[in-house]
């Protein structure tokens, strides 16, 4: 059944999982992405009206992060347009411990449109689908702040929560904080991945400056370098981001997935095993 739900970022880490959750319920949401029809492109406001036309509820993720310059203005414009076009509810994916993200949350909260904020910790899937995967495959993981405790959360849990609050209006006006059930360090994570993937991974504790210099040497795009530096220097060390919150249990009626459970499932896919070139 076609629906009046739009998933912006519908091909991304959480967005595609939200789409899958809705499809399980027999709902076929509209995908908000550049390659969809109608397309949605954050960088091209001309695409927004067609994508939002006839939509009543929407899940919004901003790529690469609500903290980046320009995100606040984009969220403001989108929220204003959504209200004008008759959107009744916005579920915004936000980040724990990010001042800039909270400014975006405020825009949605003050819009007069029903909303639920889903405020997430760092994703487990950063180790299998994103920027940490390359170092795992190389066998040498060099990261700063190796002792900082982080409540890593699984993207599948985030998506299930997002799909639930999107459909259930009893969560209107709430900020749901999604974290994993434990605080773990980068060292713990590399040890767990090493164990579950049966690979000998070496961990090197380096300074943030060394990490940034390394990314620049690898010609990582400037906006990505900026974001990583911001996340490490401002978000990881924010006390708000070092707390386990049990909102996943409350919304889903079950415990959040542990990093070990994620690692065991992910290891079976072979994603952490480098392809040997004969």
Mean per-residue pLDDT, 113-137:
95
**What are the tens digits of pLDDT across the range 100-116?**
999 999 999 999 999 99
Which element (helix H / strand E) includes 172? Answer: none
Strands 57-60 and 114-120: unpaired
Residue 276 has a pLDDT of 60
Residue with tokens 């890593």: 152
**What are the tens digits of pLDDT across the range 19-29?**
999 999 999 99
pLDDT band per the 50, 70, 90 thresholds, residue 239: confident
Instruction: Look at residue 277 and tell me whether its pLDDT is greater than 70.
Output: no
Instruction: Look at residue 238 and tell me whether its pLDDT is greater than 80.
Output: yes
Backbone angles phi, psi at 20, to 5 degrees: -60, -40
A 10 A CB-CB count for 2 gives 9
Closest listed residue to residue 61, CA positions, set 50, 45, 74: 74
**What are the tens digits of pLDDT across the range 175-213?**
999 999 999 999 999 999 999 999 999 999 999 999 999
Residue with tokens 């767990």: 192
Structure-token pair, residue 59: 């899940």
Q: Which domains does the chain have, with CATH numbers?
A: 2-121+154-179+242-256 (3.40.50.720)
pLDDT band per the 50, 70, 90 thresholds, residue 18: very high
Structure-token pair, residue 181: 């059930």
Strands 57-60 and 28-32: unpaired
| Arithmetic mean of pLDDT over the chain | 94
% of the chain with per-residue pLDDT over 90: 85
Residue with tokens 């916005």: 90
Q: Where are the alpha helices (DSSP H) in 120-185?
A: 133-138, 155-167
């Amino acid at each position: 059944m076609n629906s009046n739900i739009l998933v912006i970022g519908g091909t991304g880490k959480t967005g595609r999982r939200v789409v899958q959750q809705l499809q399980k319920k027999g709902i076929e949401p509209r995908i908000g992405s550049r390659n969809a029809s109608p397309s949605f492109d954050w960088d091209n406001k001309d695409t927004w009206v067609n994508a939002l036309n006839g939509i009543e509820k929407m899940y919004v993720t901003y790529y690469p992060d609500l903290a980046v310059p320009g995100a606040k203005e984009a969220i403001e414009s989108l929220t204003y347009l959504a209200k004008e076009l008759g959107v009744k509810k916005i579920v915004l994916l936000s980040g724990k411990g990010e001042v800039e993200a909270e400014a975006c949350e405020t825009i949605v909260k003050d819009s007069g449109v029903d909303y639920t904020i889903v405020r997430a910790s760092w994703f487990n899937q950063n180790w299998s689908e994103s920027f940490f995967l390359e170092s795992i495959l190389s066998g040498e993981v060099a990261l700063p702040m190796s002792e900082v405790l982080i409540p890593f959360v699984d993207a599948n849990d985030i998506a299930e929560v997002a799909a639930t609050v999107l459909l259930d209006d009893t969560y209107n006006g709430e900020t749901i904080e999604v974290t994993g059930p434990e605080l773990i360090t980068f060292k713990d994570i590399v040890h767990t991945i090493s164990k579950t993937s049966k690979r000998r991974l070496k961990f090197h504790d380096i300074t943030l400056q060394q990490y940034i210099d390394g990314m620049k040497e690898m010609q990582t795009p400037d906006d990505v370098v900026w974001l990583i530096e911001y996340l490490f220097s401002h978000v990881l060390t924010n006390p708000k981001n070092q707390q386990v919150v049990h909102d996943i249990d409350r919304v889903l009626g079950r415990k959040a997935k542990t990093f070990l459970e994620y690692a065991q499932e992910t290891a079976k896919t072979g994603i952490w095993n480098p392809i040997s070139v004969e």
